[in-house]
Structure 1
Amino acid sequence: MTDYAIGDLQGCHAEFVELLERIGFDPVCDRLWLAGDLVNRGPESLACLREVRALGDAALTVLGNHDLHLLAVARGGARLNRKDTLDEILAAPDREALLDWLQSRPLLVRQVFEGQGDTVMAHAGLLPQWSPGEAADLAGEVEERLGSERSGEFLERMYGNEPACWEASLDGIDRLRVIVNVLTRMRFIDAAGCLDFSAKEGLDSAPVGFAPWFRYPRSDDPRLLFGHWAALEGRAEGARVRAEALDTGCVWGGSLVALNLSTGERTGVPSRQRR
């Protein structure tokens, strides 16, 4: 069995199918790790959702910020943004089945590979102050709320930039919001683990006093798989941890890349999008 990790699809269905063909993916014996943001901004978000859902246990998928945005629009009263490309999903005859499936996805996947230790995948990354086990527990708090009768209330109140700093003493919606922001929106943080939400470009856009989350040391050494940051072009330069950037900006005209988790080999296909 071969495990492959792929970054943000964002509706790039044709490229996804081509990439699976290029790596010779076999859903019977291989497995995909998908770093979230299956949908939005690209032309075929509905096809991406259907394709990944049909893979069943052959695909491990975490929620990204665009996936949560879809759920918030459909079930939390949020509004579509001008650049959203989610209308086809919202009008689909299998809409509710697809949304139920998406809402049941985790925010973090963790597994131990022989000889490699902990491998952790979250859409945006992992706060240096969190161990893999702690992060999995915190992600589980959000997943539990998403699976509860109070999920609509949570999706309605999920968004916001405050609190910007993690504190173990946080509770209620503030606690859940910080967990979501770390796992799905984080890019730059300060030494205390506070998040900045203003800078979204490359590494040279870091605000004063902030740095990419992967440039802060950890007391452990997990392998960290993340997407979310297309401006990195698949490179976590200057990382002080074992971080693997997976988002290569397919929806922005870049490419879609599969990382072989055993060999480290990367296989890519060019984007068909024109920006």
Structure 2
Amino acid sequence: MAVYCIGDIQGCNSELQRLLEQLQFDPQRDLIWFVGDIVNRGPESLEALRFVHSLGNSAVTILGNHDIHLLAAWRGHASLKPADTLQDVLDAPDADELLHWLRRQPLMVEDSRLGYAMLHAGLYPRWTLTEAREYAREAEAALAAPEPEFDAFMANLYGDRPDRWSPTLTGWDRLRFIINAFTRMRYCDAEGRLLMDYKGAPETRPHGYVPWFEVPGRRPVGEPLTVVSGHWSTLGFEEGTGFVAIDTGCLWGGTLTAIRLDGTRERTAYQCPGARRPGG
């Protein structure tokens, strides 16, 4: 049995299939962790979502920001943007089945035997992994709630405020920050404030902000687990103390990356033709 973690697919299902062929993936034997953002911007969002769903117990996936955007659009609380490629999902005859399944996927997955925790955007630098686990369960409960409560959550989901965590946050502000930290975070300042509107590479970052994994005084993980994340194609493959980032920009003509979790972190990458140009 092999256990792999694969970076952001973003609707690039054909590229995913080629990567799985390289890995000689056998769903009867192996396990895939998907780091979130199964859908959007690439041309095969519906196919990618159906495929990951079809894997059943041979796959584990967490929610990324594009997956949550799809859920909000499904419930009528977000409009599709010109670059979105989600209409096929919304129009599909099995849309409700797929999207009810999607909203019950976690924000965070851990395996102490493998030594990894998977969070789409990374670990907010003012949280321990234990705290992150607690906050993830709060937001997951809201996502999986009965439809009236779920709809209310989707209606109050969007926004960049609050931009800094406080354990005294309540209500929609608390849940919104939790979702933003798990799915949208890239940069923070020394006080833990999130910078939401900048997606560039670290060498071009605005003054006063650093990648989440470089924030001074970042809380220790508290357990011997390495955080594996995606979300940040302009960062690319990056690894350091307690983390490894694996979104290598398949959508933009980079690669789709897999790392093996049950061993020496062997890295496999499929060169993608690029469904979109950066900024498209």
Q: For this structure pair, what is the TM-score category when the shorter chain's length is used for normalisation?
A: over 0.9
2:203 paired residue number: 204
1:33 paired residue number: 33
Cα distance in structure 1, aligned partners of 2:213 and 2:245: 10
1:178 paired residue number: 177
Could you say what secondary structure the match of 1:79 adopts?
A: coil
Equivalent pair of 1:35/1:61 in contact (CA under 8 Å): yes
Confirm whether residue 100 of structure 1 aligns to residue 97 of structure 2. Answer: no
Cα distance in structure 2, aligned partners of 1:213 and 1:205: 15
Equivalent pair of 1:9/1:251 in contact (CA under 8 Å): yes
> Could you report, residue by residue, the CA deviation over 1:100-133 in whole angstroms, capped at 9, with x for unpaired residues?
111110011111026x4xx211110001221212
Cα distance in structure 2, aligned partners of 1:77 and 1:172: 18
Equivalent pair of 2:112/2:225 in contact (CA under 8 Å): no
2:226 maps to which of 218, 223, 235 = 223
Cα distance in structure 2, aligned partners of 1:76 and 1:134: 32
Cα distance in structure 1, aligned partners of 2:3 and 2:219: 25
CA-CA distance at 1:176 after TM superposition: 0.3
CA-CA distance at 1:152 after TM superposition: 0.7
CA-CA distance at 1:26 after TM superposition: 1.4
Q: TM-score, structure 2 length as denominator? A: 0.93
2:130 paired residue number: 133
Could you say what secondary structure the match of 2:234 adopts?
A: helix
> Could you report, residue by residue, the CA deviation over 1:185-244 in whole angstroms, capped at 9, with x for unpaired residues?
0000012211011221100232222100111343235301000000012124xx4x3211
2:274 paired residue number: 273
Which runs of no fewer than 5 residues in structure 2 stay unpaired? none
CA-CA distance at 1:76 after TM superposition: 4.1
The CA RMSD over aligned residues, in Å, is 1.3
1:153 paired residue number: 152
CA-CA distance at 1:273 after TM superposition: 2.3
Could you say what secondary structure the match of 2:238 adopts?
A: coil
Q: TM-score, structure 1 length as denominator? A: 0.94
The amino acid across from 2:119 in the alignment is A
1:109 paired residue number: 109
Cα distance in structure 2, aligned partners of 1:122 and 1:219: 16
Cα distance in structure 1, aligned partners of 2:27 and 2:123: 28
1:163 paired residue number: 162
Could you say what secondary structure the match of 1:113 adopts?
A: coil
Could you say what secondary structure the match of 1:259 adopts?
A: strand
Could you say what secondary structure the match of 1:257 adopts?
A: strand
The amino acid across from 1:86 in the alignment is L
Runs of 4+ with deviation above 4 angstroms = none
1:53 paired residue number: 53
Confirm whether residue 81 of structure 1 aligns to residue 81 of structure 2. Answer: yes
Equivalent pair of 1:76/1:153 in contact (CA under 8 Å): no
The amino acid across from 2:138 in the alignment is E
Equivalent pair of 1:2/1:260 in contact (CA under 8 Å): yes
Aligned length: 269
1:233 paired residue number: 236
Cα distance in structure 2, aligned partners of 1:133 and 1:2: 27
| More displaced stretch, 213-222 vs 199-208 | 213-222
Equivalent pair of 1:107/1:122 in contact (CA under 8 Å): yes
| More displaced stretch, 46-55 vs 25-34 | 25-34
Cα distance in structure 2, aligned partners of 1:63 and 1:99: 12
Cα distance in structure 2, aligned partners of 1:218 and 1:231: 25
Equivalent pair of 1:157/1:173 in contact (CA under 8 Å): yes
